[in-house]
Structure 1
Amino acid sequence: MANINQNQDREQWGSKIGFILAAAGSAVGLGNLWKFPYMAGKNGGGAFVLVYFIILFLVGFTLMLAEIVLGRHTQLNAIGAYRKIRKNWAWVGGLGVLAGFLILSFYSVVGGWVINYIVKSLTGALNVSDAEVLGGMFGELISGTTVPIFYHGLFMLATLLIVFGGIGGGIEKSSKIMMPALFIMIIILAIRSMTLPGAVEGIKYLLVPDFSKITIGVILDALGQVFFSLSLGMGCMITYGSYLSKDTNIPQSATIIPLIDTGVALLAGLAVLPAVFAFGFEPSAGPGLIFITFPAVFAQMPLGSLFAVMFFVLVLFAALSSSISLLEVCVAYVVDEWKMNRKVTTIVLGVVIFLIGIPCSLSLGPWSDITLLPGKGFFDTFDFVSSNILLPLGGLLLCIFVGWIWGTDNAIKEATNDGNLEFKLSGAWAFLVKYVGPVAILLVFIRSLL
Structure 2
Amino acid sequence: MLYYITIGNMDRSFRIMEKKASSFSGQIGFVLAAAGSAVGVGNLWRFPYLAAKDGGGLFLLVYLVLVLTFGFTLLTSDIAIGRRTKQSAIRAYETMRPKWKFLGILTFLVPVLIMTYYAVIGGWITKYAAVYLTGQSAAAAEDGYFTSFITSPVSPVVFALLFMGVTAFIVYNGVEGGIERVSRYMMPILLVLVVVIAGYALTLRHEDASGQMRTGLEGLRYYLTPHMEGLTVSRFLQILLDAMSQLFFSLSVSMGIMITYGSYVKPDVDLNKAVNQIEIFDTGVALLAGAMIIPAVYVFSGTEGMSAGPSLMFVSLPKVFNAMGKAGMFVGILFFVTAIFATLTSCISVLESITANCMEIFHSGRKKTVLVLAVIYLAASAIIALGYSIFYFEVQLPNGSVGQLLDIMDYVSNSVMMPFIALLSTILIGWVMTPDYVIDEMQRNGETFRRKKLYRVMIRYVAPVMMLVLFLQSTGILA
Whether these two folds match at TM > 0.5 is yes
Counterpart of 2:98 (choices 87, 90, 93) is 87
1:15 aligns to 2:26 (yes or no)? yes
1:236-251 aligned at under 5 Å gives the runs 236-251=257-272
Contact 2:139–2:145 at 8 Å: present in 1 too?
A: no
Counterpart of 1:32 (choices 43, 48, 55) is 43
Tell me the distance in 2 between the aligned counterparts of 1:334 and 1:372: 33
1:293 aligns to 2:306 (yes or no)? no
Counterpart of 1:433 (choices 456, 459, 464) is 459
Tell me the distance in 2 between the aligned counterparts of 1:356 and 1:94: 20
Deviates more, 1:171-180 or 1:7-16: 7-16
The DSSP-based 3-state class of the residue aligned with 2:152 is coil
Match of 1:199 in 2: 216
Match of 1:396 in 2: 423
What is the letter of the counterpart of residue 219 of structure 2? G
Tell me the distance in 2 between the aligned counterparts of 1:313 and 1:332: 28
Counterpart of 1:378 (choices 398, 401, 405) is 405
1:387 aligns to 2:408 (yes or no)? no
1:324 aligns to 2:348 (yes or no)? yes
Match of 1:333 in 2: 357
What's the offset of the Cα at 1:57? 1.2
What is the letter of the counterpart of residue 358 of structure 1? A
RMSD: 1.8
The DSSP-based 3-state class of the residue aligned with 2:334 is helix
Tell me the distance in 2 between the aligned counterparts of 1:128 and 1:50: 38
Contact 1:101–1:353 at 8 Å: present in 2 too?
A: no
How many residues are matched?
441
Identity %: 39
Tell me the distance in 2 between the aligned counterparts of 1:172 and 1:369: 40
Tell me the distance in 2 between the aligned counterparts of 1:174 and 1:404: 39
What's the offset of the Cα at 1:148? 0.5
Tell me the distance in 2 between the aligned counterparts of 1:211 and 1:414: 42
1:107 aligns to 2:133 (yes or no)? no
Tell me the distance in 1 between the aligned counterparts of 2:413 and 2:460: 24
1:57 aligns to 2:57 (yes or no)? no
Match of 1:163 in 2: 171
Cα distance per residue 1:60-91 (max 9 Å; x no partner):
00100000000000001101100111112122
What TM-score do you get using the length of structure 2 for normalisation?
0.89
Q: Which runs of 5+ in 1 are unaligned?
A: 1-5
Match of 1:232 in 2: 253
Contact 1:372–1:378 at 8 Å: present in 2 too?
A: no
The DSSP-based 3-state class of the residue aligned with 2:265 is coil
What's the offset of the Cα at 1:128? 5.1
Match of 2:450 in 1: 424
What is the letter of the counterpart of residue 467 of structure 2? I
Tell me the distance in 2 between the aligned counterparts of 1:150 and 1:210: 43
1:68 aligns to 2:76 (yes or no)? no
Tell me the distance in 1 between the aligned counterparts of 2:57 and 2:357: 41
What TM-score do you get using the length of structure 1 for normalisation?
0.94
What's the offset of the Cα at 1:351? 1.7
Match of 2:192 in 1: 184
Q: Which runs of 5+ in 2 are unaligned?
A: 1-15, 206-214
Tell me the distance in 1 between the aligned counterparts of 2:139 and 2:152: 21
Contact 1:45–1:207 at 8 Å: present in 2 too?
A: yes
Tell me the distance in 2 between the aligned counterparts of 1:100 and 1:284: 30
What's the offset of the Cα at 1:399? 1.1
Match of 1:444 in 2: 470
The DSSP-based 3-state class of the residue aligned with 2:138 is coil
What's the offset of the Cα at 1:371? 5.0
Tell me the distance in 1 between the aligned counterparts of 2:406 and 2:171: 24
Contact 1:128–1:299 at 8 Å: present in 2 too?
A: no
Tell me the distance in 1 between the aligned counterparts of 2:444 and 2:173: 30
What is the letter of the counterpart of residue 275 of structure 2? A
What's the offset of the Cα at 1:355? 1.1
1:206-217 aligned at under 5 Å gives the runs 206-211=223-228, 213=231, 215-217=236-238
1:362-377 aligned at under 5 Å gives the runs 362-369=386-393, 375-377=402-404
Contact 1:109–1:357 at 8 Å: present in 2 too?
A: yes
Cα distance per residue 1:123-154 (max 9 Å; x no partner):
2222259x5x2x41100111111110110000
Cα distance per residue 1:316-371 (max 9 Å; x no partner):
00000100010011000011232101011011112212212222211212221365
Tell me the distance in 2 between the aligned counterparts of 1:241 and 1:7: 16
CA shift in 2, pair 1:230/1:385, >3 Å: same
What's the offset of the Cα at 1:118? 1.1
CA shift in 2, pair 1:326/1:21, >3 Å: same
Tell me the distance in 1 between the aligned counterparts of 2:199 and 2:224: 15
Deviates more, 1:119-128 or 1:383-392: 119-128
Counterpart of 1:78 (choices 67, 74, 89) is 89
What is the letter of the counterpart of residue 413 of structure 1? D
Tell me the distance in 1 between the aligned counterparts of 2:248 and 2:364: 32
